[in-house]
Every structure is written in C-alpha cells, then in structure tokens.
A and B are shown apart, each in its own frame.
Chain A
Amino acid sequence: IAGITQAPTSQILAAGRRMTLRCTQDMRHNAMYWYRQDLGLGLRLIHYSNTAGTTGKGEVPDGYSVSRANTDDFPLTLASAVPSQTSVYFCASRQEGAYETDTQYFGPGTRLTVL
C-alpha cells in the first residue's frame, strides 16, 4: 500500500441499507478526515479524527458514524442510507506539523449512489 486507499471504488445501494466505506493509510499520519463532494459545493467535512482513539463531528455528520481503532484505518458507516447521501466520498490524512506537513492527502474516493 502506498498512501491512502479507499474501498469500494463505487457502490449502488438501496435506501435503508447499511454501508461501510473503508479507508486505510500507510503514512502513519495522526489525523484523518472524511469528506463528501457534491456538484457545485465545496468539500464538506463529515467526521474527523486527530489521533487513534478519538473522533469528532464535522460540518455534516448526521447519518454517518466513524471509528478509529488504530492509526491506519478510519471507516465511515452509513447506518441507514438515504438518497441525499448520494455523493463522492473522500478520505484524507494529515501529519501534524509545520508548513507543508500540515497538508492533507486524499484517497481516490468512493462514488456512492443511494436509490
């Protein structure tokens, strides 16, 4: 693994179903993030984790949950999917520090369609 991976690449899901989007990084970054990206809108933060064992709510957390059992993995769960959760989901990570080490690096994304 090099960088950040996400799975699945894309998914079509029936409304009401439960779904977990996976995110794994091998850079030993402390902070990780989940965003959704919708046409015409900026990236919106769903949940974040500053370090293993801690999580926080972002701008649009409703309907989503996360866990951070270890440094590498940060799964995002939709407990009961709704059509408004149709979006492209990006996972990102950041190594806390100065200057460009504050940069967030992104996974390739998961395109989710809820019908």
Chain B
Amino acid sequence: GQNIDQPTEMTATEGAIVQINCTYQTSGFNGLFWYQQHAGEAPTFLSYNVLDGLEEKGRFSSFLSRSKGYSYLLLKELQMKDSASYLCAVMDSNYQLIWGAGTKLIIKP
C-alpha cells in the first residue's frame, strides 16, 4: 500500500532550527512536495524535490533521498508565524498526490 509518515507534533523555540522528517512508500515517484497550512486556512506550497539532494529557499530547505524514501524540511531562524502544520506529499505514478497527516509545529518564545 501507499504510506506517508511524519511526526504528529513538534515543538521548537523562536530563533532556533527545526527539522521535520517524512518517510514514504508509494507506487511510483514523480516528486515530493512540502506544504504549509496555518490553522483554518488552505495549504500553501513550500517546496518541491524530484532529484536527490537539498533545495534551499530562504529560511526553508528541503532534502530528498529517493533510495531511502526519505525527505526532511528544515526551517531556520524560526519565527512565531512559522507555527503551522507542515504537510508532506508524494506525487505517484498517476500524478496524484499522496498526503501525510501533517506535522503540527509549535513555536515557543
């Protein structure tokens, strides 16, 4: 079956760094996406990885290892506004997205 695993909740301190992990098992692979979702709002796109390695976008970076079925999202210089859920999703062989349940990130001052 298809499965995306990520931690349910994480807590971090303002100004610190946090890494959110995602492991996956899917039928086919056409890329891995990270989305941010604030409470009561729609998911918004953060990053996309299709090749192994690190993609950096400002304070956010995303890493992919296809052989290990593993990705992480790295958030640096945490701000209170980064308090949100972070969703990992894999695009399968049919170009459909398979979603993890999301990781709720709590930022403390």
Contact = CB atoms under 8 A, between A and B. Distances in A.
A45 interface: yes
B96 A48 contact: yes
Interface in B35-50: 41-45, 48, 50
A2 interface: no
8 contacts: A42-B4, A43-B89, A43-B97, A90-B42, A102-B95, A104-B33, A106-B42, A109-B41
Nearest to B101: A42
Instruction: Identify the 6 closest CB pairs spanning chains A and B, nearest first.
Output: A42-B99, A106-B42, A43-B99, A42-B101, A103-B45, A106-B43
In this complex, the interface size class of chain B, counting residues with CB under 8 Å from chain A, is 20 to 34
A40 B100 CA distance: 10
A106 B33 CA distance: 14
Given A102-B30, A103-B33, A43 B50 contact: no
Contacts of B30: 102
B48 A42 contact: no
A105 interface: yes
Contact of A102 (B48, B101, B102): B48
B31 interface: yes
B96 A45 contact: yes
Contacts of B33: 103-104
Interface residues of A, number: 21
A108 interface: yes
Interface string A26-52: 000001000000001111110010000
Nearest to B98: A42
Nearest to B88: A42
B44 A106 contact: yes
Nearest to B99: A42
A40 B96 CA distance: 21
Contacts of B95: 31, 96, 102
A106 B95 CA distance: 16
Nearest to B97: A104
A31 B94 CA distance: 12
